[in-house]
Structure 1
Amino acid sequence: MSTAWTLATTSLGRRLRFLRRYRWWALQLLVAVPGIVLVTHDTGTADSSHVAKLWHDAALFFFVLAATLRVWRAPEEGTAEMLRFRLLHRKVAWRAFTVLLLAGSLALAADRWCTWKGDGPAARGWSTAAWVLVWLAVAARLLEPLVWMLWPQELRRGVKLARLAEDAAKVTARHSTRAAIPPTVFADQGAFGRTRASYQSHGGPPSPEPQSVPAQLAGTSYSARGRRLRASPPVLHWDGTRLAWSDAQGHTHMVPVAGRPALKGSVDRGVRPVAEMVWLLHTGARLGPSSLLVLLDDKGYRFLVLHTNQRSFGPCADLAEAVGVPFAAYRIAGDAQAFRTLLNSLFPHRGPVAELRAAEAGRG
């Protein structure tokens, strides 16, 4: 009997947990019902234009409340405290936006009421108040990122570390058959922390031996007139004294090296001095493994990405060793979204990022 009762309660608990996923949708629909009633309400009089508009403006309050009901939900349980604080910070801004927007919709309804009663000055006052509240609501939401930047840097860095640890743990748990152990995050590495690399070197003096890493050629490219063009994939090249990358048109762009005097050449404004190279292998791609060679500045931000599709980090490590900068290799499993999430968490960007990839087949 006890076994049957246990099975029944377990099954019921699973069903209730399944229904809990849709409880917010049910609440939103329930709150929107009065708005639907007011929108479809008919006064039945010959001249009911102002009254009908009054009901419509009153319905706007319920529609806004239904659309913004989720902002009152507390941050997810089980989330790291630092991430909960960041989520709550956003929630506060969204709640301020919601309150001001609801007040604006009520002021709009009051404007319509005064217009119906023939009180022009009061209607204009309520109309002005409605617009002011709406603009304050927009400002409360748009200023949230700026307010967040006013918090101490240590707090914001802690949030970044917590987000990196959570993203890495999710990817590890998704592709592990056993109980996944959360990966270790080293807070003193990179821009906002790093997980343990598969391979790592610390660099040394530059080598006079030339080294290069090309982007994998995706196929034959054609011009707008249909003429076959000569395949020329982008290449990251070290000639023994300078590091440069060449695009598909054959133009060469110099890449400065951190801590060394700038050499003469064409250097783009968006290209910062390289302080480290990182190779990432994406092993969960549907079309087979793909890899990237990422160039980082002295703060750990990426500014140049070469799509190499190398199956081994050897050529990339040789290039970094020749240039004389540190090198690290990472293997990341998961779908494209998980790979992009970890790429942004491990190696964030600040400013434009140059993406070097070979031309796709059939494109010039």
Structure 2
Amino acid sequence: MSGRDLFPGVSEAEWRDWRWQQRHALRTPEAVARLVDLSDAERRGLALTAGAFRVAITPYYASLIDPHHPFCPVRMQAIPVAAEAEAAPGDLRDPLGEDRHRPCRAVVHKYPDRVLFLVTDTCAVYCRHCTRRRITGGEEGAFDRAAAEEGIAYVRAHPAVRDVLVSGGDPLVLGDERLGWLLRELRAIPHVEILRLATRAPVTCPMRVDDALARLLRGVKPLFVVTHFNHLKECTPEAQEACERLVDHGVPVENQTVLLRRVNSTARNIAALNQRLLAWRVRPYYLHQGDVAEGTGHWRTPLACGIEILEQLRGHTSGLAVPHLAVDLPGGGGKVTLQPEYRLGPAPGGTEFRNYRGERYLYPDPPEADCSCPYDEVFHAGPARRSVE
């Protein structure tokens, strides 16, 4: 059944209008129940989380849901279950320690040379595993122009900032005029070298990615779109069209997958997803261990699960399809990456390794180990100047 079959009377033009999709998102238990055969856990989840965290599912994303199977990966990401209302050991309201690094409302400045720039508390679809649910739940209120201007002034006043990640919420719920103003203001700051934009729009509302948006993003290059596919079921022709439109306009697209228990927590799922994304010219970047956000304990996997997935990918698929396994340390410690251990230790004449098949190999270490670069001081001092007589 197509998406439009679930919404009789909707024209093709309406269905392909991203504003229509956002206006007609499913936001109440009654609206969800009209399209999905809700399980007891989902009915309780919708009741228990009402008022705590928003529900919104675009008609497009709802059309991907299997209405009869509670373990449909799209359904699990969009509809709360009772476990979301239960506290898990280690849960934190601010799992990444962002609030203590917020010099102003719109900016999180945890790393020396880059900042997170928050532009909205709204999403087209509210992921049930959201790490920033204290903001996207609506507790803080909307981000207005004054908050954005204050954030821009902060970035302008800190010349060490060379990389700005625009996020929220989802920046692509904003119209082109407001989004374009913000991106152009950031691009005009001389020390800002790179812009990144984090969005699930290619996944949850791909019609948002039209030619006008792609031209806008191209116009503030270098800008990278960082999107968030979690399962092959989300890789539809519409999603492909959105991703390829961006790439064709010269906007690189990278993907960050969150490891979700019983949704994508096997190597088979991650390999299938990443191989499809690569075919669309979308680079798999991170596989994120679940953050310790309140209400998300039922999603989290043991760290060993992610490492085992990488172990099964390495050597069995292209290296481009093997993401970094990232853990954002609770409380604000920042990202660290993990991988299987291939280095076995020192051995006579070098270092011993194992490969993906478990075979042992010796890498010979060179007898001389001076790794300094003599030309550095000349090169980094700038071009040689000739005196003018």
- Normalised by the size of structure 1, how large is the TM-score? 0.20
Per the normalisation by structure 2, the TM-score is 0.19
More helix, by proportion: 1
